Amino acid sequence: MKILVTGGTGFIGSHTCVELINAGHEVVILDNLYNSKIDVLDKIKAITGIKPKFYQVDIKDYNELEKVFGENNFEAVIHFAGYKAVGESVSIPLDYYDNNVGGSINLYRLMKKYSVDNLVFSSSATVYGDNFEVPFKEEYGYGNTTNPYGTTKLVNEMIINDNCKANEKASAVILRYFNPIGAHESGLLGEIPNGIPNNLLPYVAQVETGIREYLRVFGDDYDTPDGTGVRDYIHVVDLAKAHVLAIEYAQKHKGAQTINVGTGNGYSVLDVLHAYEKACGRKLEYKIMERRPGDIATSYADVSKAERLLGFKAKYDIDKMCEDSYRFYQNNK
């Protein structure tokens, strides 16, 4: 398939491009480089032997986006482009809605206009909110999102579902990611956070490289085995492979499907810290702090739908996730 990958130079997008190319698909990347670098294209080439065609375009710019559709005969779109910082979304909500919802509507309109019927969308487990029992099942629907970022994901899910109902040719797979971490085994691709990392793994990595003094563990009084928050961490390469299966599924099935992508296993903050210590071969400092507002105790996926519909099963464990992250951060200090 000839596939437009929006946000394709980003963390998850770049890994997905590698897996799409490995699976024999033709990839065209579109990104405004707001949160990624152009040299990712050379890294994709170093891994796969192919440098994808690239457009530096903002999805908010309808006319520029239309030129990309006009010049290419896409069969599918995988849509990663978006802002993703939870805390920032609380301070600048209009920018988040404009980019993540407004930009996406431009894309969906052009898909319709140019008869590009197959979509995979990056959603998040954040749409379950704190309303449900684990493991989170797709049929639960939506919980209360606790920040504008999460709400942009929920709104996109609704738009995609409505659009598929209104357009019998359209097909979409909405992937609800749990907690993607890790990096490509080559050490070439990974996640470089902007500023102080919000997410656990990049923060742990910065403690290891000496940028941060210690890990702040947000709460040890949750109802979990060691009292710290439990999440379903998934290796980004596993997640990337799920996208290949999802876009191939969309091509064969009309309508919209929502599918969790996780491992189905929960690890605590201290489990992740200890796995990273194993990877780097030394102890890392941490301090127990207050709970972070908006956090829930436990989140992990029911993965049976991904297995049933896509034949997807995550392969890599927490040790491999930390080993690959560690290698990437050593290469990119």
Measured distance CA(58)–CA(6) in Å, rounded: 9
Q: Tokens in use for 21?
A: 């190319």
Kindly indicate which of the ranges 3-11, 98-106, 212-220, 274-282 contains the residues binding ligand UD1, using the contact rule CB under 6 A: 212-220
292 near ligand UD1, rule: CB under 6 A: yes
Q: For residue 62, give every residue at least 6 positions away whose Cβ sits within 8 Å of its Cβ, in sequence order, or none.
A: 106, 109, 110
List 176, 184, 231, 305, residue binding ligand UD1 (CB under 6 A): 231
* Of 35, 163, 179, 258, the one binding ligand UD1 by CB under 6 A: 179
Per-residue mark of binding to ligand UD1, 99-138 (x: CB under 6 A): -------------------------x-x------------
Does 150 sit near ligand UD1 (CB under 6 A)?
A: yes
Regarding 294 and contact with ligand UD1 (CB under 6 A), the answer is yes
Least separation in angstroms between CB 102 and ligand NAD: 9
How far apart are the C-alpha atoms of 253 and 257, rounded to whole Å? 9
Is 37 or 278 the residue whose CB approaches ligand NAD more closely?
37
Which tokens is 2 given? 């000839």
Least distance (Å) from ligand NAD to the CB of residue 282? 26
- Burial class of residue 286 in the structure, from the number of CB atoms within 10 Å of its CB (0-12 exposed, 13-18 middle, 19+ buried): middle
Q: How far apart are CA 325 and CA 332, in angstroms?
A: 10
Minimal distance, residue 144 CB to ligand UD1, in Å: 12
Q: Looking at the DSSP assignment, which residues form a beta bridge with residue 301?
A: 136
- CA dihedral (157, 312, 236, 246) in degrees, to 10, reads -40
Active site residue 149: yes
Closer to ligand NAD at the Cβ: 13 or 264? Answer: 13
Burial class (CB within 10 angstroms; exposed 0-12, middle 13-18, buried 19+) of 60: middle
Closest CB to ligand UD1 among 48 and 199?
Answer: 199
Closest CB 74 distance from ligand UD1, rounded Å? 27
Residue selected from 216, 253, 254, 320 as contacting ligand UD1 according to rule CB under 6 A: 216
How many residues bind ligand UD1 (CB under 6 A)? The answer is: 19
Residue ranges binding ligand NAD (CB under 6 A):
7, 9-13, 31-36, 58-60, 80-84, 99, 103, 122, 124, 177, 180
Nearer to ligand NAD, 12 or 170 (CB): 12
C-alpha–C-alpha distance, residues 315 and 318, integer Å:
10
Helix ranges (DSSP H) in 190-235: 200-208
Let me know: does 268 contact 228? Beta carbons within 8 Å.
yes
Alpha helix (H) ranges present in the chain?
11-22, 40-48, 62-71, 86-91, 93-96, 103-113, 148-166, 200-208, 236-252, 269-280, 304-305, 318-331
Q: Which of 3, 12, 21, 269 binds ligand UD1 (CB under 6 A)?
A: 269
* Residue type present at position 324: D
The verdict on 212 binding ligand UD1 (CB under 6 A) reads no
List 96, 97, 149, 316, catalytic entry: 149
217: partner contacted, choices ligand UD1, ligand NAD, none (Cβ within 5-8 A by kind): ligand UD1
Q: Could you tell me which stretch among 36-44, 52-60, 97-105, 214-222 binds ligand UD1 (CB under 6 A)?
A: 214-222
**152, 206 in Cβ contact below 8 A?**
no
CB 82 within 8 A of CB 100: yes
Catalytic residue annotation: 149
Binding-site ranges for ligand UD1 (CB under 6 A): 86, 124, 126, 150, 179, 198-200, 203, 216-218, 229, 231, 269, 292, 294-295, 299
